Structure 1
Amino acid sequence: MSQHEHDHPHQSHGDIVKRLKRAEGHLRSIVTMIENGRACVDIAQQLHAVEKAVCQAKRTLIQDHIDHCLEDTVGALTSGQRAPLEEFKQITKYL
């Protein structure tokens, strides 16, 4: 276990696993669509949906990490010291 890993999963990890398992199943169905010769527009639409699901899982993971791990590392801060951290947390919403 590296120094950045924790003995317990983050609160969001269960939700992320569920999202990724759904995306995994969805991706398998897209492979079947391709093998069955479905229209490219339909395939592209489904790929877009999987891409969005994976991106949302990534965003959730990163935001959870910042909310918990970064704050644990930084420790207690005054309100003036918190401003850059809060700004950093806000900008990650645009990942």
Structure 2
Amino acid sequence: MITHVVTTEATVTDGEVTETIHTALEQAGLLASEHFVDWGYVNAKLLATSVSSHGVELTGPIRHDITWQGKADEPASRGGPAGPPRDGLRDPNRDLVA
């Protein structure tokens, strides 16, 4: 069931309007105790504060960290088959690739 619609400029992310949606639904008496959303409407702050701010449990998949720092733990950076050891030292127990 669609209970609220927000139209924004293209540069406004979904997560930036979640609080606005909760406030509008609360004022209209339509805010449920659970709000199931897609990944765009979920972030750590909203997950931590939606219950205390509005009494609603926000549920949805969290997005993956797509920053270079978040990708640093991928196999290529861990010294797995796709890349060198992170510290730059050769692992004597690892096969060398020519």
Report the TM-score, using the length of structure 2 for normalisation: 0.31
Report the TM-score, using the length of structure 1 for normalisation: 0.32
- Which structure has greater strand proportion? 2
- Which structure has greater helix proportion? 1
Which is greater in Rg? 2
Question: Greater relative contact order (Cα 8 A, min sep 6): structure 1 or 2?
Answer: 1
